[in-house]
Amino acid sequence: MSVDVIDRLQAMAATPGRVWMRGGHPVTYGDLLAETGRMANALAGLGLAKGDRLLVQLDKSEAVLSLYLACLRLGVVFLPVNPGYTIAETAHFLTDAEPALALVEDRRQQAIAERGAKAIGLGAFLDLVAAGQADFADPAHAPEDLAAILYTSGTTGRSKGVCLSRENLASNAEALVELWQFTEHDVLLHVLPVFHTHGLFVATNCVLFAGASMIFQRAFSPDAVLAALPEVTVMMGVPTFYSRLLADARLTPAVCARVRLFISGSAPLSPATHAEWRVRTGHTILERYGMTETNMITSNPYDGDRRAGTVGMPLPGVKVRITGPDGAVLPAGEAGSIEVMGPNVFVGYWRMPEQTAREFRDGWFVTGDLGAIDAEGYLSILGRAKDLVITGGLNVYPAEVEAALDDLPGVAASAVIGVAHPDFGEAVVACLIRSAGAELDEAEVRHTLRDRLAGFKIPKRVLVMAEFPRNAMGKVQKAELRKALAGLFGAN
């Protein structure tokens, strides 16, 4: 059984002077324990009790991390919402989760209250916290107790509430600290959003379980990141961060000299970015694989070959298998559905038992991702099952075509989708973003791919775009691309 997150916080706070957050006014673990105690008391004073949901829609700040831990202390279920969502979008979470309280930026309080929810602005809440007591009597908690609900992005269909237990969070943190060799001497550069599992749980809990410290930045900025890199040992990011840093001439091996580990996730890292980062900095980015429902699943090795285009092997205690349409386990090298089992896998979807049952098979969670495991155990992601293109009865995995496109000169990014076609059922369509100053010719791109891909995999159309629709974590929203290009071949 894993050590609970709060037990770990209390153990770290027992060491005087141990720093949690670095900066102009360093925050110790003792300070953090006291602040979470004041927050827990404030939440209890507002009527929240164990099992209640707290909807949190706040801009990124240090207070959000303290609030997450305060909720764990009280036993309140933490429900973070993207601060970029409109009031209309947020209404779904208010109705579905029925939070006992919504804690929001002051500017949103009235609009949220008008939706019938009990709401408090951050300013008023922090006033209560400042006036409160640091001592808090934590109630007893069990590993299976619900810790958080994170809603899926909802790009297709209804957004689902993913229920994560205390054990889900703690077990994943323990596995990652072991695998990535975190110690109390590490300093993490925190530049990720805190309404998503990557920045909220992976980053925060790895630091806490190791007794390490972090430099906290409220948004990604190349200037701020480059200024901080000489002071940190670990950076977690998404591919967009790394590509933007590569575009800056100030990125040098000297700037990265103290860093021991660069981690990338939340979206595929192109082999070109992987290779260029190694040349420019002397470091090999470690790519891993996870999702809201499972926290982290696999990782390239800390010591060993970090293979571009793969997401490594299962974490300690986690099992991964590839299955065919009939549920049979496939041999190494064959593509199929990725299924996961382990203490990291979520409890279920909030108030959706039938949906939960549909997405589990014999105790294995069916991720909805397609992949293949090679003979050495490395997992490659081939895309979402819903993104699989079936053209003329043949399967085309977008990731394979994207890898070929990303290798072409002048291609900065690619996204491959299927678009309705009157003859083939679906046609492969490539959307590209060109590199600065480059020119891309559709016929030339298609011709070049003939030496790399079978004929049925070559895109019927190649479209150059200024940008792709992306979510807050940088993932391309292929559903939006498919919608925009639905009539490309005159078939809907």
pLDDT in tens, 198-220: 999 999 999 999 999 999 999 99
Q: Could you give the angle at the alpha carbon of 434 between the alpha carbons of 429 and 439, nearest 5°?
A: 100
Residue 222 belongs to what H/E stretch?
helix 222-228
Residue 394 has pLDDT above 90, yes or no: no
**455 CB neighbour count, 10 Å cutoff:** 8
**Domain 5-179 homologous superfamily, CATH:** ANL, N-terminal domain (3.40.50.12780)
- What's the CA gap between 361 and 356, in Å, rounded? 10
Asked if domains 5-179 and 388-484 share a fold, the reply is no
CATH of domain 220-384: 3.40.50.12780
Residue 5 belongs to what H/E stretch?
helix 5-13
- Residue extents of the structural domains in the chain: 5-179, 220-384, 388-484
- What's the CA gap between 40 and 38, in Å, rounded? 5
245-253 LR contacts (CB < 8 Å, sep 24+): 246/273, 246/276, 246/277, 246/280, 247/222, 248/222, 250/226, 251/226, 251/280, 251/281, 252/280, 252/281, 253/280, 253/281, 253/282
- Of residues 341 and 86, the one with the higher pLDDT is 341
Nearest CA to 283 out of 250, 310, 306, 309 is that of: 306
pLDDT in tens, 422-433: 788 889 999 999
Distance, first Cα to last Cα, the chain: 52
CATH of domain 388-484: 3.30.300.30
Nearest CA to 315 out of 211, 224, 180 is that of: 180
pLDDT in tens, 290-333: 999 999 999 999 999 999 989 999 999 999 999 999 999 999 99
70: helix, strand or coil: helix
pTM over the 0.85 mark: yes
CB neighbours of 289 closer than 8 A, spacing ≥ 6?
A: 265, 296, 297, 298, 299, 311, 312, 379, 381
Dihedral angle sign, alpha carbons of residues 36, 37, 40, 45: negative
Average pLDDT rounded to a whole number, residues 63-90? 94
Helices (H) and strands (E) in the chain, counts: 16, 26
* Contact (CB, 8 A) for 286 and 304: no
- What's the CA gap between 374 and 313, in Å, rounded? 10
Average pLDDT rounded to a whole number, residues 166-182? 98
**178 CB neighbour count, 10 Å cutoff:** 15
**116 CB neighbour count, 10 Å cutoff:** 10
Kindly report which listed range (12-21, 176-185, 247-256, 483-492) carries the lowest average pLDDT score.
Answer: 483-492
Residue 381 has pLDDT above 80, yes or no: yes
pLDDT in tens, 264-296: 998 788 888 899 999 999 999 999 999 999 999
438: helix, strand or coil: coil
Report DSSP state, residue 110: H
Give the CA-trace dihedral at 189, 191, 194, 196, to 10 degrees: -100
What's the confidence (pLDDT) of residue 384? 82
Residue 28 belongs to what H/E stretch?
strand 27-28
Residue 438 has pLDDT above 60, yes or no: yes
Burial class (CB in 10 A: 0-12, 13-18, 19+), 404: buried
